Amino acid sequence: MAGPTIENWVEQLGLQLVEDPDLEKPVYRKPYHGKVHLNAELDDKISTSIREARDKRSLSRSKIAPLLGLSNAVYHRYETSVSRLTVSRLIHLCEVLDATPEEILAPAAPHL
């Protein structure tokens, strides 16, 4: 079985073609409330979630950073969306904050 065509898949999922300035090529994304959030917007929301999760637990960056094997400056870049988290770093961060990935990611992608 060949499966659905790309066109059928795009239509079935309601994806929209997006030209994101952070990406080299056009991509397909799912809109939420009629809007497609670009990568920079998603990064900002994830960074805010990380900071809020840390603040909710009354922990300073200087306490969290060493638990992740990071300097304060590097950790700060995650909270200010200068640097992007890898999935493995996100898992480690969730372990250290006693947070779920959903707590960190849901504000950036509530439609998922």
- pLDDT, tens digit (0-9, with 9 covering 90-100), for 51-97: 999 999 999 999 999 999 999 999 999 999 999 999 999 999 999 99
Please answer whether residues 45 and 112 qualify as being in contact, where contact means their C-beta atoms are separated by less than 8 angstroms: no
Note the pLDDT of residue 9: 95
- C-alpha 89/C-alpha 96 separation (Å) is 10
| Residue 47 and residue 80 in contact, taking contact as beta carbons nearer than 8 Å | yes
pLDDT of residue 2: 80
pLDDT number for residue 112? 87
pLDDT tens per residue, range 4-62: 999 999 999 999 999 999 899 999 999 999 899 999 999 999 999 999 999 999 999 99
Task: Decide: 109 and 49 in contact? Cβ < 8 Å.
Answer: no
Q: Determine the 3-state secondary structure of 71 from DSSP.
A: coil
Q: How far apart are CA 85 and CA 67, in angstroms?
A: 16
Q: What is the pLDDT of residue 53?
A: 97
Q: What are phi and psi of 69, to 5 degrees?
A: 75, 30
Question: Is residue 111 a contact partner of residue 32, using CB atoms and an 8 Å limit?
Answer: yes
The structural domains of the chain, ordered by start, are 1-34 (no CATH), 39-105 (1.10.260.40)
| In the predicted structure, residue 1 carries a pLDDT above the cut 80 | no
